[in-house]
């Protein structure tokens, strides 16, 4: 990584620290796989990836809300002057008016799950299976859970991640990958069995919320270990006075439109389980009774929308250097 990018990451870390209302997944700026577009004041930024002729920003701007529209407008104008296609991926409903003002079309890409901690409990018949899965492992005396700084855990967690990947390429762009410098800056929820890590989750912290990223387990871990780990994360977040835990995107979930892209998305969601666990991922997150919120892609109109969506997939599976 060159000195210019190092300096940009230093600026990004300062902006993240100053924005108490940032989205938890804004921490993905620290992966090292993105470029940055800063506001003239230097107080806010957009992160983006380049694929083909597209500049694809991930998430909303980070920084003061008053700079949000100006930064988006400048990003789009800069891309167009360079002969590139501007797009913004993984944004909620609140940003859509600004994106439409900039001449972009918006399309839903799935739903994001957020668990409000004030209402979270394992009681009641609807939580019966989750309660049993958590209690079964909670009663074992060979398992221990902790939230620890990531800097001292990378070597311990690498075998878990390698076993989980099983030779598959790691993730990037819209999901965290096993990048030591990234993990070293995050708190990690780790579950150990007889002193050996068997499952972990990287936590994306803000003053009020946690996000969950890089959720991985070893094949030798006890059954239902992911249910147990996430319940422990929810309990730990509530004990710290946080308001919610973000479980991330269920891709292609909740597409209800009648346009061709929505119909195609519903078909892939319903029949594409052999390529990606679309329904399985949503079912897993639904166990925790989250609030579901739409997420969108904004891109130039017409045929460019599906092209950019395919490019998001390429960026998210591009090997990290």
Question: Using one digit for the tens of pLDDT, what is the confidence trace for 37-55?
Answer: 999 999 999 999 999 999 9
Mean pLDDT of 73-98: 97
**What are the residue ranges of CATH 3.40.630.30 in the chain?**
3-113+294-316, 114-249
Calculate helix-pair angle for 128-138, 225-239, nearest 10 degrees: 90
Q: In the numeric block, which tokens belong to residue 236?
A: 């730990």
Q: What's the pLDDT score for residue 225?
A: 93
Q: What's the pLDDT score for residue 273?
A: 54
> Helix, strand, or coil here: 237?
helix
Q: What's the pLDDT score for residue 298?
A: 95
Q: What is the DSSP letter of 208?
A: S
Question: How far does the chain reach from its first CA to its final CA, in angstroms?
Answer: 9
H helix or E strand, kind and range, residue 216: strand 209-217
Pairwise pLDDT comparison (114 vs 131), residue with the higher score? 114
Pairwise pLDDT comparison (153 vs 321), residue with the higher score? 153
pLDDT in tens, 193-215: 999 999 999 999 999 999 999 99
pLDDT in tens, 151-181: 999 999 999 999 999 988 898 999 999 999 9
Q: In the numeric block, which tokens belong to residue 165?
A: 């990947």
- Whether residue 58 contacts residue 109, with contact meaning beta carbons closer than 8 Å, is answered with no
Instruction: Please name the residues in contact with 37: beta carbons below 8 A apart, sequence gap of 6 or more.
Output: 45, 46, 48, 57, 71, 74, 75, 78
Pairwise pLDDT comparison (282 vs 275), residue with the higher score? 282
Among 62-76, 103-117, 194-208, 270-284, the range scoring the smallest mean pLDDT is: 270-284
Identify the CATH class of 114-249.
alpha beta
Answer whether 0.85 is exceeded by the pTM.
yes
Q: What's the pLDDT score for residue 264?
A: 66
Fold of the 3-113+294-316 domain: Aminopeptidase (3.40.630)
Instruction: Please choose, from the candidates 52, 36, 113, the residue with its C-alpha nearest in 3D space to the C-alpha of residue 313.
Output: 52
Q: What's the pLDDT score for residue 268?
A: 62
Number of C-alpha atoms within 13 angstroms, CB side, residue 156?
19
- Whether residue 119 contacts residue 262, with contact meaning beta carbons closer than 8 Å, is answered with no
What is the Cα–Cα distance from 217 to 203, expressed in whole angstroms? Answer: 15
Mean pLDDT of 254-276: 64
Burial class (CB in 10 A: 0-12, 13-18, 19+), 96: middle
pLDDT tier, 220 (very low <50, low <70, confident <90, very high otherwise): very high
User: 269 pLDDT exceeds 60?
Assistant: no
> Helix, strand, or coil here: 153?
coil
Number of C-alpha atoms within 13 angstroms, CB side, residue 99?
25
pLDDT tier, 304 (very low <50, low <70, confident <90, very high otherwise): confident
Mean pLDDT estimate for the chain: 91
Which range of 111-120, 123-132, 278-287 scores highest in mean pLDDT? It is: 111-120
């Amino acid at each position: 990584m060159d000195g210019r990018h190092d300096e940009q990451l230093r600026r990004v870390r300062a902006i993240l620290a100053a924005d108490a209302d940032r989205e938890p997944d804004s921490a993905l700026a620290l992966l090292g796989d993105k470029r940055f577009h800063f506001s003239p004041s230097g107080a806010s930024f957009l992160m983006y990836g380049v694929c083909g002729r597209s500049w694809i920003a991930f998430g909303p701007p980070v920084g003061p809300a008053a700079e949000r529209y100006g930064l988006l407008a400048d990003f789009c104008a800069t891309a167009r002057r360079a002969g590139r296609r501007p797009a913004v991926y993984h944004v909620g409903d609140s940003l859509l008016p600004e994106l439409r003002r900039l001449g972009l079309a918006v399309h839903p890409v799935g739903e994001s799950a957020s668990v409000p901690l004030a209402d979270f409990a394992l009681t009641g018949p609807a939580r019966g299976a989750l309660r049993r899965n958590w209690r079964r492992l909670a009663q074992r005396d060979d398992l221990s859970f902790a939230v620890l700084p990531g800097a001292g855990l990378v070597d311990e967690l690498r075998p878990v991640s390698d076993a989980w990947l099983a030779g598959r390429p790691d993730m990037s762009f819209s999901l965290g990958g096993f990048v030591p410098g990234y993990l070293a800056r995050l708190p990690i929820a780790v579950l150990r069995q007889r002193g050996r890590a068997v499952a972990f989750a990287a936590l994306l912290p803000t003053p009020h919320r946690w996000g969950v990223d890089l959720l991985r387990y070893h094949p030798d871990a006890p059954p239902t270990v992911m249910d147990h780990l996430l319940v422990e994360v929810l309990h730990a977040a509530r004990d710290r006075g946080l308001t919610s835990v973000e479980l991330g995107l269920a891709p292609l979930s909740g597409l209800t439109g009648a346009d061709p892209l929505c119909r195609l998305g519903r078909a892939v969601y319903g029949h594409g389980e052999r390529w990606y666990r679309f329904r399985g991922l949503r079912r897993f997150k639904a166990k925790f009774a989250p609030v579901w919120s739409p997420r969108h892609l904004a891109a130039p109109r017409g045929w460019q929308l599906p092209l950019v969506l395919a490019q998001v997939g390429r960026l998210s599976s591009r090997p990290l250097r």
